[in-house]
Structure 1
Amino acid sequence: MTTVAFIGLGIMGGPMAANLVAAGFDVIGYNRTPAKTERLVERGGRGADGVAEAVRDADVVATMLPDSPDVRAVLTEVFAHARPGTLVIDFSTIRPDVAAELAAEGAERGFRVLDAPVSGGEQGAIDGTLSIAVGGADRDFADAVPVFEVVGATMVHVGPSGAGQTVKAANQLIVAGNLQLLAEAIVFLEAHGVDTNAALQVLRAGMAGSVVLERKGSSMVARDFEPGFRVELHDKDMGIVTGAAREAGVVIPLGAAVAQLLAALKAQGDGGLDHSALYALVSRLSGRDA
């Protein structure tokens, strides 16, 4: 039985770790909030009191953390306490350059590190249908496939270390643009008194149809912004996108505009809401009640 240490048991990491337990892996979980670790234990996993304890006897270490500094801090502990040769899979969304740096540092210490950011949101994590873009060595990717097959439906090796994060940045750029246009379309429809649910049914079946429309359209109409993916996290991701685009000399005018709108939504105190709350911002800018 493969032992997996899973660090970060939040909205995404919790169900991913639980799916690994259900698939027969021996999962040792750790989260700074003990209640989240306890939930994994209730599902059949084991709990640890810290990173060092979680990773000491692991064959695979998986991380799902909020940002680059969090991943850097945790992997520093992993490199200090895990066994050399351990496969380290970072499912977090962080800066591509940081992912490459951590992979190089890990290699120097005898670890095999993959950046494997996921997309598909909370429901994808629960269903085990996430899309995974993986950066790193071919052999390490092959060894990680049994883990990927449990948490995802699509897993693609996209290049060397950091490449997975670059693909994820592109994903977040597209999703942010789709969310913003969907929010504008719904406010537009409502302003004209159209039956919005009927309109969305038609839009889903045409070229405007998308996963974003399917998953977020009804929640916008219902003003239900219970977080599946928080505004503050997408704001962070758009910072990664705009920074990486600037470094590459690439112009992303629409992406930059949406990045500013997400930043505004966060600044107004809505960072803890689901990113579909862009609808509320468009409503307010239009002088309408959200």
Structure 2
Amino acid sequence: MAQTVIIEAFGGPEQLKLVDRPVGEPGPGEIRIRHEACGLNFIDVYQRTGLYPLELPHALGMEAAGVVEAVGDGVSHLKPGDRAAYAAAPPGAYCEARVMPAAQVCPLPDGISFEQGAAMMLKGMTVQYLFRRTTPLRKGDTVLFHAAAGGVGLIACQWARSEGITLIGTAGTDAKCALARENGAAHVINYRDEDFTARVKEITGGKGVDVVMDSVGKDTFEGSLDCLKPLGMMISFGNASGPVPPFNLATLAAKGSLKITRPTLFSHIAEHETCQQMARELFDKVESGAVRIAIDQRYPLAEVAEAHRALEARKTTGATVLLP
């Protein structure tokens, strides 16, 4: 048996329930992993509220790290006793132990702690696909990154600095702006005090940025389009303020033949080898010191509802981990 966080109905944090569930043995292509730490991400909120529907009842959580206890037939990249971490479907990472598909579970280097592993996989591989796989980015390019002091944002700031990319970060407080700057943002904008679109134009001498990376959604979408230079790329990869409403595609033409994409990590990591390669590149960034994983909040698994409340209220910085 393993303590596991489930929901039986969509709604607020009060829907999160801690129950005992049987774990079982791994089948072909599966592993059993005992978690040392679990990650907290906005996708968990989207699933809890029903924005991303699940068949109920369902366990939550997309990211964790721990020790492999058993492997099923056909699993060759992991063995019992291995340290491992993952960001992977199906949801169910908020637990002491689970059986799950092995393909997206990655061997965790000894130099990276379980807490770091649980805090970095979804966020770090998101940054990897944003900078490596979504649109070509080169040294000297300029990126606008919203929520730059969040878990994904702080990794993005450091990643950009390590590759000579100018990152303009937005955040909602002066303290969060300072944190983004400390982590490598070349410029910071407190969007509660300043019009971020006007400030971006000022910073870029009226040219705009090459790419916008926006996980906020509804509240920043239109302003973000106005920050792009002609032929620029809008990457909308989250909905923290709510989903982007429908808009007229002709708007992209009128604003300079802009490009737009709505990617998800899970499309990028669907193939086993691609997922493992992305993880290795992330691990290299962390082990080299180019990227430091900031874990600013820790909660016992039993206090998962409080962790969700803090995340939704934007009271967190960096990453949050849940400890079974």
TM score, norm. by length of structure 1: 0.38
Indicate the structure whose relative CO is greater, using CA pairs within 8 Å and at least 6 residues apart: 2
More helix by share: 1
TM score, norm. by length of structure 2: 0.35
